[in-house]
């Protein structure tokens, strides 16, 4: 059987061109991922050792699926391919090489919670204002520094960065970054960004290691290359430098991670990096109907920055795209749920043929409620991961301490859980003692009597002894026996067992579930190393989506558009197509941000194989307030010939014009709403600031005469004062201090401002 028969000539060309640099930049659904899969199978068929192949995917799930397909062609050999996300592959390499960087092989991977909790602790120690130094913001700065390979030392020496921080009133950021890095090092821990940053350090500082991996990975392939950041780009470039057998595939029109540092230039520069690159074009979309491809093309054509591509489909014409208007988010949920029930029955589909995609996680609530009401089974992707639940994290913290007692976030988490008489004051004393003398927390714990008095020294000392006893157990026992021993002797199992509330019961069951998972792991026959430490490495990088216990379960999929990348479903619903939600209100300040939102919409549309539904609500609760919404501009941008409106258009014209008239009507309704008594608002508790309700009759004014010191009102951000103006017409940037939201920079030509 010709195993390459399922490829068209260009795909086949790209598969057979195994030597030298290859780039495939092609539209959605054109078989890029398929090419990588076949290419790997082809290499192995040609006799390449799977150990010499490295494939980098965007999710663990994608890697798993690819491996299964390759296995069906080449058999068990496929197990030996190096395949996974950047983070999982390089975490594995760092385990082997950690000692060269001064880290233990059993280093801990700090997740986002650990990272933020450590950052918060440092901000507190430095007596900084935690509103100005918001942990999320600080984390973002540190993350972005690492992804641009700026070390703490370089950060603090870089005058431009320091000047920027000082101008923003956050002059201490460099010091926080420095302390954060020292603390992670002291704890033998790396955060997610470190997995890439330290890999770069490793390959840069240790030529012999670089040499080893350059020769190990004779063939490299990267899927979704448009979403790699600088740090990832450089790793790939270094590893490929000797053999140059590198194949990257991507689609500039689907680049949706710029906010996380992804750099579309990586695609554009590939040709410069490898002048003899072979470029393959894939233009035929095999996924979607002509209608859907046509609609997707009409949207993306509105972006100025894109590579020319001609995407076509030879599939059936397909049904028109249905657009539905709902009065509220709850009604939108109801409409979607009912449409799923109906379409499933009518077309003989399964629940798993349907996906509901949304811009923000918060939108899942209305959808979930509606699905539950009529008993439609669903699975929520990207929700709280099993491994992020409190009870699971608690037990895992004990495991982490057992293998790396220097892990300070784990230590702080469980030193007094379950309660053993070590109060906050004692913990504070331990922290201060460690800090003063630059000891590790663990050193203070095992030498408790030197630092603490009587009773607390006893309690802390016993905690240390307990962890040491776990270490002894782990040395000679299986993963499951060790885990069970720790669950019992730490007191966690008993603590949860005694809690007879419904939540307590479910927490107890979750622990059981974790232990079952470890049992299965201990009994696996396909891996040689089955210690609890190996299990821990596996789960540190898992997300909820990878933990899909039964991928064949018949359930509707609910997820954000970001997590739908690379996937496909026969029927797709994109919900919440409203201005300020999609496109997001945070993206309206510049063209590049708006273009990224549009690419996100393009990704969403191109997930659909046979039928696409779009919907919007005319009112929606956001931040506890009922807001009127207007239809998204993206609806106007779709080719009107592809649309079928599920409501009476307000003007006689069809398609796009209807949405514009919707907007006019909306404006009118808004005016009515604000002149009448406000609609009854059901209060929901929220800690977020309320969305601003513009003054009745709000209309943006001419801002050409705007001066520093003037008071303004912004449509959404509320009232504020201009504190700086810079740049030349028409690109003048205003820095405005908003009463509710603090400081923001806006491009005047886009900002809807009213001079008060
Ligand atoms: P995306 O940009 O969304 O990641 P992609 O370019 O990676 O898409 P694939 O997921 O590889 O596209 O392919 C899309 C669909 O088309 C898949 O179901 C795939 O099996 C199918 N397909 C691709 N090429 C062919 C072909 N030559 N013959 C039949 N089906 C194909
Ligand atoms: Mg793909």
**CA-based nearest residue to 57, from 89, 11, 79:** 89
Q: Are 340 and 569 in contact (CB under 8 A)?
A: no
* Cβ neighbours for 454, distance < 8 A, ≥ 6 positions apart: none
Nearest to 142 by CA among 177, 184, 168: 177
Residue 30 CA: which ligand 1 atom is closest? Answer: 6
Q: Whose CA is nearest to atom 18 of ligand 1?
A: 287
Identify the nearest ligand to the CA of 27 by its number: 1
3-state secondary structure of 250: strand
Give the phi and the psi of residue 745 in degrees, each rounded to 5: -105, 130
Closest CA to 576 of 367, 300, 301: 367
Specify the pLDDT at position 491: 94
Note the residue count of the chain. 756
How far away, in angstroms, is 27 Cα from ligand 2 center? 10
pLDDT tens string 17-75: 999 999 999 999 999 999 999 999 999 999 999 999 999 998 888 888 899 999 988 99
Q: Say if ligand 1 is within 6 A of residue 255 CB.
A: no
- 566/226 Cα distance (integer angstroms): 12
Catalytic, 372? Answer no
Question: Which residues in the chain show pLDDT less than 70?
Answer: 1, 383-385, 543-551, 623-624, 648-693, 740-742
How far is the centre of ligand 2, averaged over its atoms, from the C-alpha of 420 (Å)?
Answer: 51
Query: Annotation-wise, does 174 bind a ligand?
Result: no
Quote the crossing angle between the two packed helices 86-97 and 532-540, to the nearest 10°.
140
Q: Reply yes or no on whether 116 is catalytic.
A: no
Q: Report the greatest alpha carbon distance in the chain.
A: 85
Ligand 1 pocket residue status of 252, Cβ below 6 Å = no
Q: How many CA atoms lie within 13 A of 684 on its CB side?
A: 11
In angstroms, what is the span from residue 29 Cα to ligand 2's centroid? 7
State the DSSP code for 650. Answer: S
CA 32 / ligand 2 centre spacing (Å): 5
Helix (H, G, I), strand (E, B) or coil at 486: helix
Smallest CA separation from ligand 1 atom 14, residue = 29
Helices within 490-616 (DSSP H only):
492-498, 502-522, 532-540, 591-605
Kindly state the tokens that stand for 122.
């440092």
Cβ atoms of residues 391 and 513 within 8 Å: no
CB atoms within 10 A of CB 126: 12
- Rounded Cα distance between 311 and 284, Å, is 6
Given the residues 32, 34, 198, 334, select the one marked as catalytic.
32
Tell me, letter by letter, the H, E, C secondary structure of 133-199. CCHHHHHHHHHHHHHCCCCHHHHHHCHHHHHHHHHCCCCCHHHHHHHHHHHHHHCCEEEHHHHHHHH
* Ligand lying nearest the CA atom of residue 37: 1
Is 33 touching ligand 1 by the criterion CB < 6 Å?
A: yes
97, 194, 223, 394: the catalytic one is 223
- Has 306 been annotated as catalytic? no
Distance 310 CA to ligand 1 centre (A): 16
DSSP letter for each residue of 415-458: TTSS--S--HHHHHHHHHHHHHHT--HHHHHHTHHHHS-HHHHH
Question: Is the omega angle on the peptide bond into residue 555 within 30 degrees of 0, that is, cis?
Answer: no
**What is each CA distance from 171 to 155, 160, 177, in whole angstroms?**
12, 12, 11
Q: Was 28 annotated as part of a binding site? A: yes
Q: Any binding-site annotation on 151?
A: no
CB contact at 8 A, 749 and 730 = yes
**Residue 201, helix vs strand vs coil:** helix
Evaluate: CB of 29 within 6 angstroms of ligand 1. yes
The verdict on the CB of residue 84 being under 6 Å from ligand 1 is no
Flag whether 212 is marked binding.
no
Known binding residue 33? Answer is yes
With contact defined as beta carbons under 8 Å apart, do 684 and 736 qualify? no
Angle at 440 between CA 94 and CA 146, to 5 degrees: 40
- Sequence-distant (≥ 6) Cβ neighbours of residue 630 within 8 angstroms: 578, 579, 662, 663, 666, 667
Instruction: Decide if 213 contacts 93 (C-beta within 8 A).
Output: yes
- Binding site membership of 483 for ligand 1 (Cβ less than 6 Å): no
| DSSP classification of residue 729 | T
Residue 32 among known ligand-binding residues: yes
254 is catalytic: yes
Phi, psi of 639 (to 5 degrees): -55, 115
> What is the Å distance from ligand 2's center to 668 Cα?
44
32 catalytic per annotation: yes
The C-alpha R_g of the chain, in whole angstroms, comes to 28
Distance 588 CA to ligand 2 centre (A): 28
* Environment class of 455 (CB within 10 Å of its CB; exposed 0-12, middle 13-18, buried 19+): exposed
Q: What pLDDT was estimated at residue 729?
A: 79
Give the CA angle between residues 260, 261, 263 to the nearest 5°: 130
Taking each continuous run of H as one helix and of E as one strand, the counts in the chain are: 29, 24
CA 33 – CA 223 distance, rounded (Å): 7
Nearest to 26 by CA among 290, 224, 192, 294: 224
Q: Edge to edge, what strands does the sheet with 742-747 contain?
A: 742-747, 733-738, 718-726, 711-714, 753-755
33 is catalytic: yes
Q: Is the CB of 34 under 6 A from ligand 1?
A: yes
Pick the catalytic residue: 309, 607, 620, 754? 607
Tell me if 250 CB under 6 Å of ligand 1: no
Sheet harboring 321-326: ordered strands across? 378-380, 556-560, 354-358, 569-574, 608-617, 321-326, 643-645
Our CA dihedral for 528, 532, 535, 540, rounded to 10 degrees, sits at -150
Residue 205 annotated as binding? Answer: no
DSSP assigned state of 27: -
By alpha-carbon position, which residue is closest to atom 27 of ligand 1?
7
The beta-carbon contacts of 202-206 under 8 Å, at least 24 apart in sequence, are 202/93, 202/94, 202/97, 202/100, 202/101, 203/235, 203/238, 203/239, 204/238, 206/97, 206/100
Q: Is 57 in the pocket of ligand 1 (CB under 6 A)?
A: no
Distances (CA, A) of 557 to 63, 352, 368, 374, 632: 19, 7, 11, 16, 23
> Which ligand is in closest contact with the Cα of 285?
1
Ligand 1 neighbourhood includes 309 CB (under 6 angstroms): no
Query: pLDDT value at position 656?
Result: 47
For 11, counting Cβ atoms within 10 Å of its Cβ (0-12 exposed, 13-18 middle, 19+ buried), the class is buried
CB burial readout 680-709, b (16+ within 10 A) else e? eeeeeeeeeeebbbbeeebeeeebeebeee
């Amino acid at each position: 059987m010709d195993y390459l028969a399922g490829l068209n000539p260009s795909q086949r060309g790209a598969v057979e061109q195994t030597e030298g640099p290859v780039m495939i930049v092609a539209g959605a659904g054109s078989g890029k991922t398929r090419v990588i899969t076949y290419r790997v199978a082809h290499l192995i068929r040609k006799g390449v050792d799977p150990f010499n192949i490295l494939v980098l995917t965007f999710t663990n799930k994608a890697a798993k699926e690819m491996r299964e397909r390759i296995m069906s062609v080449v058999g068990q050999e496929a197990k030996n391919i190096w395949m996974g996300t950047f983070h999982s592959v390089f975490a594995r390499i760092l385990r082997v090489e950690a000692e060269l960087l001064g880290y233990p092989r059993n280093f801990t991977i700090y997740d986002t919670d650990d990272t933020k909790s450590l950052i918060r602790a440092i901000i507190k120690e430095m007596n900084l204002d935690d509103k100005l130094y918001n942990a999320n913001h600080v984390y973002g700065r540190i993350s972005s520094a690492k992804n641009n390979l700026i070390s703490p030392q370089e950060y603090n020496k870089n005058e431009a960065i320091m000047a920027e921080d000082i101008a923003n009133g956050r002059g201490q950021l460099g010091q926080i970054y420095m302390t954060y890095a020292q603390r992670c090092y002291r704890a033998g821990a790396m955060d997610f960004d470190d997995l890439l940053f330290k890999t770069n350090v490793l390959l840069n500082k240790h030529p012999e290691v670089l040499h080893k991996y350059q020769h190990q990975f004779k063939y490299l392939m990267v899927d979704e290359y448009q979403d790699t950041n600088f740090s990832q780009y450089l790793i790939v470039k270094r590893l490929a430098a000797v053999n140059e057998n590198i194949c990257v595939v991507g689609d500039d029109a689907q680049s949706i991670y710029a906010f996380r540092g992804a750099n579309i230039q990586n695609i554009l520069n590939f040709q410069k990096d490898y002048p003899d690159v072979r470029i393959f074009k894939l233009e035929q979309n095999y996924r979607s109907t002509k209608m859907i491809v046509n609609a997707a093309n009409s949207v993306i054509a509105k972006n100025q920055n894109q590579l020319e591509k001609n995407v076509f489909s030879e599939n059936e014409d397909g049904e028109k795209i249905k657009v539905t208007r709902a009065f509220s988010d709850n009604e939108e949920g109801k409409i979607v749920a009912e449409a799923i029930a109906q379409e499933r029955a009518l077309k003989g589909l399964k629940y798993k043929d349907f996906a509901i995609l949304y811009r923000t996680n918060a939108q899942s609530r209305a959808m979930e409620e509606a699905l539950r009401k009529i008993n439609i089974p669903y699975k929520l992707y990207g929700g709280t991961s099993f491994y992020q639940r409190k009870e699971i994290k608690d037990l895992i913290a004990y495991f982490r301490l057992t293998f790396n007692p220097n892990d300070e976030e784990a230590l702080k988490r469980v030193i007094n859980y379950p309660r053993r008489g070590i109060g906050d004051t004692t913990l504070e004393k331990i922290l201060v003692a460690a800090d003063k003398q630059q000891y590790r927390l663990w050193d203070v714990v095992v030498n408790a009597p030197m630092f603490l008095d009587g009773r607390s020294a006893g309690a802390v000392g016993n905690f240390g002894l307990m962890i040491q006893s776990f270490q002894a157990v782990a040395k000679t026992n299986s993963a499951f026996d060790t885990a069970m021993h720790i669950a019992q002797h730490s007191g966690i199992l008993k603590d949860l067992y005694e809690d007879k509330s419904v939540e307590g019961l479910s927490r107890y069951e979750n622990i059981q579930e974790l232990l079952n998972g470890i049992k299965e792991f201990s009994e696996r026959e396909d891996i040689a190393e089955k210690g609890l430490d190996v299990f821990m490495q596996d789960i540190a990088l898992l997300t909820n989506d990878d933990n899909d216990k039964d991928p064949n379960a018949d359930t509707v999929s609910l997820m954000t558009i970001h997590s739908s990348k690379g996937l496909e479903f026969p029927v797709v619903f994109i919900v919440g197509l409203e201005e300020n939600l999609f496109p997001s209100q945070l993206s309206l300040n510049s063209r590049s941000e708006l273009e990224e939102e549009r690419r996100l919409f393009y990704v969403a549309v191109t997930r659909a194989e046979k039928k696409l539904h779009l919907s919007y609500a005319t009112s929606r609760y956001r931040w506890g307030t009922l807001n009127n919404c207007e239809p998204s501009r993206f609806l106007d941008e779709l080719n009107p010939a592809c649309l079928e409106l599920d409501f009476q258009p307000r003007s006689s014209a069809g398609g796009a014009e209807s949405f514009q008239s919707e907007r006019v009507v909306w404006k009118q309704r808004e005016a009515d709403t604000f002149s009448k008594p406000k609609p009854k608002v059901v209060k929901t508790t929220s800690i977020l600031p309320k969305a601003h309700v513009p003054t009745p009759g709000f209309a943006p004014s001419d801002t050409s005469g705007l001066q520093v010191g003037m008071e303004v009102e912004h449509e959404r951000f509320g009232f504020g004062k201009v504190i700086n103006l810079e740049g030349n017409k028409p690109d003048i940037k205003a820095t405005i201090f908003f009463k509710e939201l603090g400081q923001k920079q806006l491009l005047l030509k886009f900002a809807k401002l009213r001079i008060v």
